[in-house]
Chain A
Amino acid sequence: MLRRFPKGRLAVLAARSGGISSEDAVAAAAQNVEQMRDESDKVLTQTVGALEAMIAALRGDALSEGALAQLHADADRIVSLSGMFGLETLNRVARSLCDLLSALSAAHIHDSSGVVVHVRALRLMAPGAPAMTPDAEATILAELAKLVRHYDAPTHS
């Protein structure tokens, strides 16, 4: 085994005098990101629309491996963007969809009905949708969790 101690250019540059404190760096980064909130909302809306279009195209047919992968990529994107911009309920629905897709993949289940319900919930929570009461949000999240548990159950594996 060869053990080496390379000093990369990042280390050399970072060690120069001057620079920025972690607090200032994080604050400036957060400010830069915040400036992209409106654009992010548009991307989120488009991504939910893409999921709806994919589900509509299925017309109740089984999910193919390709469809599962694309759904997963889109759901992951919603998790990422909603998390970055503090859209907590949308984030939780998207994470639930990711959990469901993982359970379906692991159990080789191609039933799309649980996915359809999740995509409808995403639309209800998407930017621009009418605000819901906390109770209504909690009810939806609880029902989605039941769905995930159903498909994640050992009988399906």
Chain B
Amino acid sequence: MSGPRLNLRDVKTLIVDRDHFTASLVGQMLRGFGMEGPAILGTAAAARLYLKSAAPDLILVEAVLPDEPSHELIAWIRHATPEPLRFVPIIVLSGYTQLSAVRAARDAGAHFVVKKPVSPKALFERIAWVARSERPFLETESFAGPDRRFGTKDPPDGAYKRPGDDEKGGAAKTAAPAQSALGKGFAT
């Protein structure tokens, strides 16, 4: 049985990670998925500057940045940038022991957390889920970001379904990645 098919050609990604080599490895994964080579920046300040003139389709951000906590960068994207950038999918890459940073990133409006070491399978699953789900976006006085009460629901029938996709092939539905794989504290 084949898994979900995604056409990720022309998808522009920004990776924010102080560890350029590890980020370049993630970039190689993205190329394997058929995506463009990502922009890689090492600090939140560089990312803020970049995002004033660019609108990536996906942002991968390390949980701990050298100049400010990643949750501050995420909150800035969610609250202070124009549409559609403020809705951009954000996946946090967390280190082995960065639980508090992971919680803060979630509360700031990240879509998912992927715990390092990042595997191609885990990363593709999260990107597929973000791309195919119809997760609503909530805006309150204290929070702006994807609805965290998405549980394990599949995307609605037909969501982003393409001609030729069918249920038997598993192409139309992408199950939510297991919470256990998201790291402790990433509760729904």
Contact = CB atoms under 8 A, between A and B. Distances in A.
- B is bound to A: yes
A77 B23 CA distance: 11
Interface in B78-120: 83-84, 87-89, 95-98, 116-120
Interface stretch (B67-75, B132-140, B178-186): B132-140
A94 B96 CA distance: 10
Interface residues of B, number: 62
Contact of A8 (B4, B84, B138): B84
B124 A14 contact: no
A9 B84 contact: yes
A26 B139 contact: no
Interface string A1-40: 1111110111101111111111101111111110110011
Interface in B1-30: 2-11, 18-19, 21-22, 24-25, 28-30
A15 B117 contact: no
B163 A84 contact: no
Specify the main secondary structure of chain B where it touches its partner: loop
A39 B25 CA distance: 10
A16 to B, nearest CB: 4
B120 A25 contact: yes
A10 B25 contact: no
Contact of B7 (A20, A80, A91, A94): A20
B151 interface: no
Contacts of A36: 24-25, 28
A10 B136 contact: no
A81 B117 contact: yes
A29 B124 contact: yes
Nearest to A91: B117
A94 B8 CA distance: 34
A25 B125 CA distance: 10
B130 interface: yes
Specify the main secondary structure of chain A where it touches its partner: helix
A43 interface: yes
Contact of A25 (B33, B89, B131): B33
Nearest to A10: B57
B48 interface: no
Interface of B: 2-11, 18-19, 21-22, 24-25, 28-34, 55, 57-58, 64, 83-84, 87-89, 95-98, 116-121, 123-125, 127-128, 130-132, 134, 136-140, 147, 160-164
25 contacts: A1-B140, A2-B140, A9-B57, A10-B57, A10-B127, A11-B160, A13-B7, A14-B132, A15-B161, A15-B162, A16-B7, A16-B162, A17-B162, A20-B7, A22-B125, A25-B6, A25-B8, A28-B33, A30-B32, A30-B120, A43-B21, A76-B95, A76-B97, A81-B21, A81-B117
